[in-house]
A and B are shown apart, each in its own frame.
Chain A
Amino acid sequence: MKRTFLILASNPMSLIGLILIGVVVFSAVFADFIAPFPEHRGAVVDFTNFNQPPHWPNIFGTDLVGRDLFSRILYAYRISLMLGVVVLAIAVPIGVTIGLAAGYLGGWVDFVLMRLTDVFLSIPPLVLAMAIMGVLEPTLTNGMLAVTAMWWPWYARLVYNVTRSEAQEGYVLAAQIIGASRLHIMFMEILPNCVPSVVTKMTLDLGFVILIASSLSFLGLGVQAPTPDLGSMVAEGGNYLPDSWWLTVFPSLAILIAVFGFNLVGDALRQVLGSDQ
């Protein structure tokens, strides 16, 4: 773990990624202390100072009802990150368990679980999420549910493939001959060997979850006003381009920074952990 971190920090690209992630996480966690106008995350109206370009103290400018854009972006990061973490915290265990069971047990378990996975994978993710959001109410909880439903199959596929190849390894045979249970072999022997691939994918996915959640809110299906959300900020600001450019540019940059950071680190992790195996 420490060695992995040192290698990441010694490579310029992944170092940039680590710094970007650091900035995003720091902003989200300490939004209450950094934000110059913490109250602007909610329904606040200030018509004396609305739709202003960047100026002191509103360094990113203000939105159409006079709220500080910089403060709102910090809080939006908090929502995005929470969304990403919650989605992965649900999707990864489901996908990993299904992939392990299908890959190790084989037979009809494999058939049933992997065809189910294929069904989910065959529906375009955004369409699936939109369908779920259309049926249910567009709330944050349902947003997470929708994104989770489209995310777990990727982990099932990934872990399935790793499990299939790990099951051929001598250590699995050794555990079988000792008489270890299937549960032990799946979760104690094979699972630790899936961790590098899963962690790598999770890092890459945090960026993508933020992106897809933003896309959903961009389409008006995600987080609802007045909760700050990067996607809806971009969507809303898009109507006022190019005059009120700050309304779109700063939230877009914020998305870019988060997605780019997670991708750089994810790619580097893939190389470092991949060569370990």
Chain B
Amino acid sequence: MSAVDQATPVLDVRNVSKTFISGEHRVKALESVSLKVMRGQCLAVVGESGSGKSTLANLLLGIHQPTTGDLYLDGNLLPGHRTLPLRRMIQLVQQNPLSSLNPRRTVGASLRLALDVHDIGDRQGRKERVGALLEEVGLPSDFAARYPAALSGGQRQRVAVARALACEPEIVVLDEPTSALDVLVQARVLRMLDELRRRRDLTYVFITHDLGVVRNIADRVAVFEKGKLVEESDTETIFINPENPYTRRLISAIPIVSDEEETLRRSLMEETNDS
């Protein structure tokens, strides 16, 4: 990899806005947002419903087109209509693994689809690759013959991650990937995601409302409120010295289990009351 590559952000969102028009109503879902994500980083996109974080994800994935502004991948402008190789680069892991896997197709068939569409490997090679992908996300390779109904929530989400990886993407958009899971399962899946990123040098756009998760997995944090990017900085700074009152409110709303966290939270709340 050349020095230029290192300096170019893998994803560059330049002054992007998105307005939805339904009848008389014009809804500004996203207003002049600019963001850069470097290769191998995990950017957390934080906000609540109506913050615009899902709209941003849809723009990155090419499901919607920005009303104004441009998206750049590896320094190249992403066109409105994306070719297959471009689509491959940005993949998605959805929130609800029950809905994101086809209940009437086997795990193997779901994984094979990505390999078939992008013509990765030959016939025999693909079968082996499906097994290898399953093992990479911590599942036995014979799960390929199973249907989603025979898997637990955590296992389904691992399959969804394997399917995203099957495309060999550069960027993975993770849309609340663990919020439907129990806490123990969530911790295991998060750990797996973190290891995968390091091993494959992946870039994550991690969409979530849970700042506790963000604290432990993200390098940078972008906080959205009502379609606007209200704060963006590295994770440490956000938690030690959040500038925006909305960021503070989000932090103080996280369920906590230790006195240490309580102390941190109280200090944040006092600052809010002072200002």
A residues apposed to B, CB below 8 Å? 169-171, 173-181, 184, 188-189, 192-193, 195, 277
The answer to whether B92 and A195 have CB atoms under 8 Å apart is no
**6 new A-B contacts at CB < 8 Å, known A170-B101, A178-B87, A188-B105:** A170-B94, A171-B99, A171-B103, A179-B87, A181-B117, A277-B103
**Residues B102 and A177 in contact, CB atoms below 8 Å apart:** no
**CB-CB < 8 A to B105: which residues of A?**
188-189, 192
Chain A contacts of B84 at CB under 8 A? 179
Contacts of A188 in B (CB 8 A): 105
Q: Are A193 and B167 in contact (CB under 8 A)?
A: no
Tell me the bound Cα distance from A192 to B110 in angstroms. Answer: 13
Q: A179-B84, A179-B88, A180-B113 are in contact. Are A174 and B103 (CB under 8 A)?
A: no
B117 contacts A177, C-beta separation under 8 Å: no
22 A-B pairs whose Cβ atoms sit less than 8 Å apart in the complex: A170-B94, A170-B100, A171-B101, A171-B102, A173-B63, A173-B92, A174-B92, A174-B101, A174-B110, A174-B160, A177-B91, A178-B87, A178-B91, A178-B113, A178-B163, A179-B118, A180-B113, A184-B113, A189-B105, A193-B103, A193-B104, A195-B104
Q: Which residues of A contact B99 (CB under 8 A)?
A: 169-171
Q: Which listed residue (B63, B96, B103, B117) contacts A178, Cβ 8 A?
A: B117
- Complex Cα distance, B88 from A176, in Å, reads 11
Task: Place the interface of chain B in its size category.
Answer: 20 to 34
Q: Which residues of B (92-151) have their CB < 8 Å from a CB of A?
A: 92, 94, 96, 99-105, 110, 113-114, 117-118
Instruction: Determine whether B61 belongs to the interface, using a CB cutoff of 8 Å to chain A.
Output: yes
The secondary-structure label for the interface of chain A is helix
Q: A170-B94, A170-B96 are in contact. Are A177 and B103 (CB under 8 A)?
A: no
Whether A192 lies near B104 (C-beta < 8 A) is yes
- For the complex, give the distance between the alpha carbons of A175 and B101 in Å: 10
In the bound complex, residues from chain B placing their C-beta under 8 Å from that of A173 are: 63, 92, 94, 100
Distance, CA A189 to CA B110, complexed state (A): 9
Please, which residues of chain B bring their CB within 8 A of the CB of A170? 94, 96, 99-101
Q: Which residues of B contact A171 (CB under 8 A)?
A: 99-103, 110
Chain B neighbourhood of A179, CB < 8 A? 84, 87-88, 117-118, 167
Closest residue of chain B to A168 (Cβ to Cβ) is B99
The 5 closest A-B pairs by CB, nearest first: A170-B100, A192-B104, A170-B99, A171-B102, A179-B87
**A189 pairs with B117, CB closer than 8 A:** no
A170-B96 Cα distance, complex, nearest whole Å: 8
| CB nearest to B99 among chain A residues | A170
